Amino acid sequence: MKVLIVYAHPEQRSLNGSLRDVAVRELVAQGHEVRVSDLYAEGWKSEVDRGDFPSLPVDARLAVAAASKQAFEAGTLTADVKGEIEKLLWADALILQFPLWWFSMPAILKGWVDRVFAYGFGYGVGEHSDKRWGDRYGEGTLAGKRAMLIVTAGGWQDHYSARGVNGPIDDLLFPINHGILYYPGYDVLPPFVAYQTDRFDEAAFGATAERLRERMRTLATTLPIPYRRQNGGDYIIPSMQLRAGLESPGARGFALHLDSAHEGGAPSKPGAMRSTADLREETA
Ligand code: FAD
């Protein structure tokens, strides 16, 4: 497979830097081709502004989505953004790697998403009508490819459990896994999460590195999170609400969008499904 790692940490000699090297070495050892976008090292510009749309007339009001659409269609996005789009189209699998900062991704990585997932590429894809709300959530430009997160957190795993004070890690990562990766079509694998990382010693690092190597060895075969497809019949058009009665007993909030009916069974789309219990085990 061709694998793109988008790495967001300001220090090469960090824990994240070491884990990235572990991942790259294992992927290469498995015969995969690997490219890394090292956002800090490359001086990635994180904010969207007029400079992103050089063909926009100087006196025109900047409407970001419209400017993004126009620039993507005309091929006038900036060279750095076009370069990342080319890498995403090249890669069979995308890995976003970052330390959890304020329960989310560092700003530089969010800015990578804001700029690279352009209108017509990451969103605004497919037919938008009273019968169809575009190609998204399981369909879109990046459908058929895989994506996963590598995340380090300072907090304890218990604090991120179902009743933990930080909120469940699957909920905290839902906007990234579902909103950013599943939206443009990726099959999203369960995240790799390392906890209590600020207190890492050699033993903790060794165990985490081995767990990560195993995830890299199974990158092509790990079952994706069983998110529901938007256009698979589970949602009412045009309100896009989940049809009554489809949820598993007690499911609320983000968990509504997991297709528990396919836990361990036949998938409703190409690529197989994974149970939420399995997901929890994988993030342990
Ligand atoms: P580093 O600081 O580089 O290293 C961590 C430890 O690992 C150190 O003890 C280091 O000696 C050791 N180490 C590094 N490399 C190796 C190696 N090769 N072998 C052995 N040991 C090694 N945490 C949360 O849980 N939730 C939050 O919302 C959150 N918000 C944050 C916001 C900010 C702005 C910051 C700065 C931190 C936040 N944290 C939070 C903590 C953060 O997630 C961790 O500090 C981070 O994940 C650790 O990763 P790192 O690569 O920066 O580690």
pLDDT in tens, 166-225: 999 999 999 999 999 999 999 999 999 999 999 999 999 999 999 999 999 999 999 999
Q: Which atom of ligand 1 is nearest to the CA of 104?
A: 28
Q: Could you tell me the residue ranges of all domains in the chain? A: 2-222
pLDDT > 90 in the chain, percent: 89
> Ligand 1: does its nearest atom lie under 6 Å from the Cβ of 111?
no
Q: Tell me the three state secondary structure of residue 216.
A: helix
Which ligand 1 atom is nearest residue 11's CA?
Answer: 3
Pair of tokens at residue 87: 């890498």
Atom of ligand 1 minimally distant from the CA of 99: 47
Domain 2-222 sits in CATH at 3.40.50.360
Which residues are bridge partners to 236 per DSSP? 241
Q: How far is the CA of 283 from the centre of ligand 1 (A)?
A: 17
* pLDDT beyond 90 at 48: yes
Decide: residue 206, CB within 10 A, 0-12 exposed, 13-18 middle, 19+ buried: exposed
CB 198 less than 6 A from any atom of ligand 1:
yes
Calculate how far, in angstroms, residue 138's C-alpha sits from the geometric centre of ligand 1.
Answer: 32
The reply to whether ligand 1 has any atom less than 6 angstroms from the CB of 10 is no
Q: Which atom of ligand 1 is nearest to the CA of 199?
A: 9
Q: Assess whether the C-beta atom of 205 lies below 6 angstroms from ligand 1.
A: yes
pLDDT at 281 over 50: no
Contacts of 240 (CB under 8 A, 6+ apart): 133, 230
CA of 99 to the centre of ligand 1 (A): 7
Tell which one of 97, 110, 197, 205 to mutate to probe ligand 1, the residue whose CB is within 8 A of the most ligand atoms. 197
- In 3D space, the residue among 176, 171, 148 whose CA is nearest the CA of residue 159 turns out to be 171
Collect all residues with Cβ–Cβ distance below 8 Å to 11 and sequence separation of at least 6.
17
Distance 38 CA to ligand 1 centre (A): 17
279 or 147, which is more confident: 147
| Mean pLDDT for all residues in the chain | 92
Say if residues 93 and 2 touch (Cβ distance below 8 Å): yes
Q: Is 103 in the pocket of ligand 1 (CB under 6 A)?
A: yes
Half-sphere exposure of 58 (CA within 13 A, CB side): 0
| pTM of the predicted model over 0.75 | yes
Helix pair 202-217, 15-29: axis angle to 10 deg: 40
| Sole residue written with tokens 């297709």 | 259
Burial class of residue 61 (count of CB atoms within 10 Å of its CB; 0-12, 13-18, 19+): exposed
Mean pLDDT of all residues in 213-240? 97
Q: How confident is the model at residue 263 (pLDDT cuts 50, 70, 90)?
A: low
Note the pLDDT of residue 270. 34
- For residues 139 and 126, the answer to whether their CB atoms sit within 8 Å is yes
Judged on CB neighbours under 10 Å (0-12, 13-18, 19+), 32 is middle
* Nearest atom (ligand 1) to Cα of 194: 47
The residue whose CA is least distant from atom 12 of ligand 1 is 200
pLDDT in tens, 80-119: 999 999 999 999 999 999 999 999 999 999 999 999 999 9
Residue from 97, 151, 200 whose mutation best tests the ligand 1 pocket (most atoms within 8 A of CB): 200
